[in-house]
A = this chain, B = another copy of it.
């Protein structure tokens, strides 16, 4: 296991402040922290491929709370928890007493007595998801400090209104793998571009996660979108600051043509404009159903003006050597496949289909790495222990 030995050595050379902390936003973590996560994820993948059991828990719950639909993240979280030996228990708010006026701080403790990790998706309403996770985290801190919880479960953000770290870190893992290392990403041009979709209200967390993460690693990050489709200003400012610090760059452009020219990587994806998302949150707070209906109609009508924002073969030709890596968090709105007209042409998507599947396939290891680093102070020691124990994962 050469990869493993290498990963362990590299982890030892990095400063790691992940232990006992929630993983909520990549920009709260140091570059060393993020690199440690990538290294652990790589090591776990190598161990899995070598049929070595990565079990670290003989019992313990991994609680998941999905306040929005999920397939791949749900399965990624379940796979990650299971890989380490944890049992998934879903907190289904419909089946709980939360509706009975129970407070967040109370529920957080009630589900955590024998719990090691809580994965939360809360991405629908701007200004809510991240705050909710912080509130849960504070309640856990409080419960642990006051002798209620025998251990402090760590929270893993499975997508909030601001960031989608398990996605963006899997994206980074994919880029690292594709280009041959983190260092090779310096001054690679990556384009996070808005693209047309017949749907409404897609969260901002994926584009925000991408621009906020890739600017940490010296990439030349371009954000492209039609006027009025901006992201949360604080995150855009952050991307700018971080790019300067990492000796990369960050630019916003208003056309796909300009954006994709000589790009190494493209990420065309639909999202709802920041302004719309803000208005939606307000309407939801007031329970204004009619207002929400109007907003959706308005948003779809505005979207329809930008049908031309599709990633086509012609646009692909303008990228570096005509074959920029195409990325997507999936599911993509593929013209003629999942919708009449959408984010990407079928022929282009087909060419990169398995690449996007591989990109998604890193997520279980990324989440497992976040759990491992949050629960064990010395991940290098733990990984060595797993390897030297050498128990089979399957078979006799």
Contact = CB atoms under 8 A, between A and B. Distances in A.
Interface of A: 48-49, 53-61, 63, 66, 69-72, 74-76, 78-79, 82-85, 87-89, 91, 95-103, 106-107, 109-111, 113-116, 143, 146-150, 199, 330-331, 333, 337-339, 354, 357-358, 360-361, 363-364, 375-376, 381-382, 385-386, 389, 391-396
The complex is assembled from copies of this chain, and their number is: 3
B147 A100 contact: no
Given A59-B83, A143-B357, 15 more contacts: A56-B396, A57-B393, A58-B393, A60-B394, A69-B99, A75-B89, A75-B115, A97-B331, A100-B338, A102-B338, A109-B357, A116-B394, A143-B354, A382-B396, A385-B396
Contacts of A333: 101
B338 A79 contact: no
A204 to B, nearest CB: 17
B82 A87 contact: yes
Contacts of A75: 61, 63, 89, 91, 110-111, 113, 115
B393 A60 contact: yes
8 A-B pairs with least C-beta separation: A385-B396, A101-B338, A79-B114, A71-B96, A53-B58, A102-B331, A148-B357, A146-B354
Given A101-B339, A103-B338, A59 B71 contact: no
Given A102-B71, A114-B48, A114-B82, A382 B395 contact: yes
A54 B58 CA distance: 9
Contact of A148 (B57, B110, B354): B354
B59 A55 contact: yes
A116 B88 CA distance: 17
Contacts of A354: 143, 146-148
Contacts of A150: 48-49
A69 B94 CA distance: 8
Contacts of A63: 75
A2 B241 CA distance: 57
A199 B97 CA distance: 13
Contacts of A360: 109-110, 113
Contacts of A74: 89, 95-96
Given A70-B95, A97-B69, A331-B97, A58 B358 contact: no
Contacts of A89: 74-75, 78, 88
Contacts of A109: 357, 360-361
A120 to B, nearest CB: 15
A376 B339 CA distance: 41
Given A60-B394, A82-B60, A114-B83, A100 B53 contact: no
Contacts of A143: 354, 357
A74 B396 CA distance: 27
A244 B24 CA distance: 57
A103 to B, nearest CB: 7
A92 B48 CA distance: 27
A71 B111 contact: yes
A334 B163 CA distance: 35
